[in-house]
Amino acid sequence: MTAADRSGWSCTCHRFTDSATFRVALGALMPLDPSQVAFDEIGPLYRLAEEDASLPVPGEPTEPPRVPLPGWHVNLALSGRDLPAAWAATRVSPANPSRAWS
C-alpha cells in the first residue's frame, strides 16, 4: 500500500488506445471536484529490444534499442470517488510499474 492509498486516494493504472481516446475519457472526470482527482499522463512506454548482434561504432554513444509498447499510458488517483465507467475498461495491473504515486 502506498502513502497515497493510506490517505484515502485510490490509485490505478490505465492503457488507452491512443492520446485521442484518453482525451475523450477525460470528459468522465470533469464532474469531479479538482481536489479529488489527479492523473499522470505518461504516454507511450518502451521495453528493451532483443540483443542487437551488431558491434557499437567507436566514439558513438551506445543506447540500447527500445521497442514501443502498445497504448497510451496514464495513472489516475481519485479521493472518495469510484472509478468512472469510462475508465474501467482501460484499467491495467502492471507487474513492475515504471512510475507510481508516492
pLDDT in tens, 32-62: 888 899 989 999 998 887 765 566 677 776 7
Q: At residue 21, does pLDDT exceed 80?
A: yes
Average pLDDT rounded to a whole number, residues 65-86: 90
Amino acid letter at 71?
A: G
Is residue 92's pLDDT more than 90? yes
Q: How far apart are CA 11 and CA 4, in angstroms?
A: 7
pLDDT at site 54: 64
Residue spans of the domains in the chain: they are 3-48+64-92
End-to-end alpha carbon distance in the chain: 10
pTM of the predicted protein model: 0.75
Burial (0-12, 13-18, 19+ Cβ within 10 Å), 17: exposed
pLDDT at position 51 is 62
Least confident of 10-14, 52-56, 69-73: 52-56
Mean pLDDT, range 85-89, rounded to an integer: 90
